[in-house]
Structure 1
Amino acid sequence: MTATAPTGGRIEIAGLTKRFRGFSAVEDLSFDVEPGRITGFLGPNGAGKTTTLRMVLGLVRPTSGYATIGGYRYGELERPLSTVGAALEATNFHPGRSGRDHLRVLADAASIPTARVDELLELTGIPAAARKRAGAYSMGMRQRLGLAAALLGDPQVLVLDEPTNGLDPEGIRWLRGFLRRLSDEGKTILVSSHLLREVEATVDDVVIIANGRLVQAGTMADLRGTAGALVRTSDAEALAGALRVADVTSSPGEEPDTLVAETTDLRLVGDVALRAGLPVYGLEPRSTDLEQLYFSLTEGTNRNEGAQSAADQQVPHQPAPDQDPGAASAEEVSS
């Protein structure tokens, strides 16, 4: 049976496992990617991110478990290009073709009007380079061309692997706003990245994996935890007592002479310290830092070398538009 995923295509990954000759690239991985939200997919090199994305797109067969898009496996979709847009590589084009011709070939194969090609060249900011050979594009331009290709069929779901690679700060800022606009339209967006600060500024939800396993998942708000205020003072114990009188709970900070107050009202903390006659040398908002959380969860888990070298390193070809990739046999263990 074939079908087109309904509007608001939800990605569901359940018990997804992939083993290569005894090496487990992905192990019992489960998480969901919701419509109208940007989900950041994080993990060290060799954690299994790209292998997971390839299983979602039918390019690698799972050993067990499944991944569905709008309730269907990728190979069951009647018109995948109009359901799922994917950009896994910034080199998936003929270097002798112009950027415009590359998109036209993809559009013709999927019966998409040429007008859509020109619309996307404008939308992704590369109309001036459209007639140049794609082989001469910078990495940033290749990323934009890959994004344009992913959006050809106006899909409900976007799967992007390291889309900020090669982009300058202006390009990263543009991509952030572009993805936010797409999510506001209700699209489902799954983005892998190693730029933690950029992820923190872009995504709604975060999935962190290490050694092929899920280690943390949740909304950015949940991962940040309870917001508070970090205070530096000469007498943290006295200030904690003064804050208790003002019904503000606090706890010792990680550094000497610091206190973490469970309030976002910095003015209140300052006023309490002033009334108590206690000097304050620093006062700033405090929340869980994604980078700090990431490293605390993944430190020492990088398996990019050693065990991974024993796994198959074949790189599968991307399926042609509207081609059922279910028969693809080439597999890859990657980041």
Structure 2
Amino acid sequence: MTTTAQRTDGARIEVRDLTKTFGSFTAVDHLSFEVEPGRITGFLGPNGAGKTTTLRMLLGLVRPTSGTATIDGRDYRDLENPSATVGSALESTNFHPGRSGRDHLRVLAAAGGLPDSRVDEMLELTGIPAAARKRAGEYSMGMRQRLGLAAALLGDPRVLLLDEPSNGLDPEGIRWLRGFLRHLSSQGKTILVSSHQLQEVQQTVDDVVIIANGRLVRSGAMSDLRGAPSTIVRTSDPDRLVGALRVADVMAAAGDDGELVVETTDKRLVGDVALRAGLPIWELRDRKADLEELFFDLTEGTNRNLGDGATSPPPPTERDAVSGQEGANE
């Protein structure tokens, strides 16, 4: 990847009716969604919802029981140049603890036919050149996250699959990651990010895919999650303002802590109505999508890992991983 503003063509991710069972347990259940180029998509769900299993199926590490998970219209095993198409960081612990960060990347670069200069470029890009000669076993969690991201970017991939990339990052690191992912998406890259940090996701992503118990519960653009655009208003007499707005053919309803949710984005209209009614305006702002509220509304009470008798999904076994690799080599 270059650091210029040059755009690259992304690749569309398509998951269609994807299902994965481990014995009697269904980890992913007829899941379907798309991830578009040039956009950052958050992949969300409670623990055990099937996120990591889905990402592993996209990468050919686990073979689907049924359905498809394609990148640029192809299974991972059919990609002509996988490292130039897909970069992934699913774990931040898959480093040899005695090998330096730079040597870890050099091994990966050699396997992909890439020059060592690419390694140095990625170390600079992810902000860890000073730690490049330290053993990876001495890295902090945040440093390991950056090293994993550098590894994912070595082949200048069109698609990035990232599992919890902000884990272990301090506030400055999280801010850096947000801007870095936005820079990559501006180049046209397709980015799918699995995360539990909902407030951070809300500030980072363009679209979300929310799953629970292996099934899709909601997907779409962040801007569309809460339905019709609206405005939050606070005043001294909310009931009186509701009546005045109704006369102006604008509907409003009580929200949290005495606020009103007004079904319009025309703040000048709301202010004019309040002025005619002789009411002060204490607050007037756009109502933004609250991802955390939506997430818990959609998933609360549906998590199979909560409550008596709940069962957790078994972790993918070595046999499952080998099966996926065999499938990728067929």
Matching residue within 175, 181, 184 for 2:186: 184
Whether the 8 Å contact between 1:20 and 1:312 is mirrored in structure 2 is: no
How do 1:253-272 and structure 2 match up within 5 A? Answer: 253-255=254-256, 258-272=259-273
How do 1:31-180 and structure 2 match up within 5 A? Answer: 31-180=33-182
Matched, 1:208 2:210: yes
Matched, 1:311 2:314: yes
Q: Give the aligned residue type for 1:291.
A: E
Alignment-derived partner of residue 292 in structure 1: 293
1:87-106 deviation line (CA, Å, top 9, x unaligned): 00001111100000000000
Q: Tell which deviates more after alignment, 10-19 or 227-236.
A: 227-236
Whether the 8 Å contact between 1:40 and 1:193 is mirrored in structure 2 is: yes
1:217-258 deviation line (CA, Å, top 9, x unaligned): 0011111332222233454343223224445x1222135854
Whether the 8 Å contact between 1:37 and 1:186 is mirrored in structure 2 is: yes
When normalised by structure 2's length, the TM-score is: 0.89
CA distance in 1, matches of 2:189, 2:279: 52
- Give the C-alpha shift of residue 307 in structure 1: 4.7
Unaligned runs of 5+ in 1: 1-5, 330-335
Q: 1:123 to 1:256 in 2, by over 3 A?
A: closer
Q: Give the aligned residue type for 2:28.
A: V
Q: Name the SS for the 1:224 alignment partner.
A: coil
CA distance in 2, matches of 1:181, 1:265: 32
- Give the C-alpha shift of residue 112 in structure 1: 0.5
Q: Give the aligned residue type for 1:204.
A: D
Unaligned runs of 5+ in 2: 1-7
Q: Give the aligned residue type for 1:156.
A: R
Alignment-derived partner of residue 325 in structure 1: 325
Q: Name the SS for the 1:125 alignment partner.
A: coil
RMSD of the TM alignment (CA)? 2.4
- Give the C-alpha shift of residue 311 in structure 1: 2.9
- Give the C-alpha shift of residue 80 in structure 1: 1.0
Percent identity over paired residues: 70
Q: 1:256 to 1:197 in 2, by over 3 A?
A: closer
CA distance in 1, matches of 2:9, 2:259: 50
Number of matched residues? Answer: 319
Q: 1:194 to 1:273 in 2, by over 3 A?
A: same
Q: Give the aligned residue type for 1:275.
A: R
When normalised by structure 1's length, the TM-score is: 0.88
Whether the 8 Å contact between 1:58 and 1:74 is mirrored in structure 2 is: yes
Alignment-derived partner of residue 333 in structure 1: none
CA distance in 1, matches of 2:319, 2:273: 63
Q: Give the aligned residue type for 1:190.
A: L
CA distance in 1, matches of 2:259, 2:129: 54
- Give the C-alpha shift of residue 286 in structure 1: 1.9
Matched, 1:236 2:241: no
Alignment-derived partner of residue 332 in structure 1: none
Whether the 8 Å contact between 1:234 and 1:257 is mirrored in structure 2 is: no
Whether the 8 Å contact between 1:162 and 1:193 is mirrored in structure 2 is: yes
Whether the 8 Å contact between 1:46 and 1:308 is mirrored in structure 2 is: no
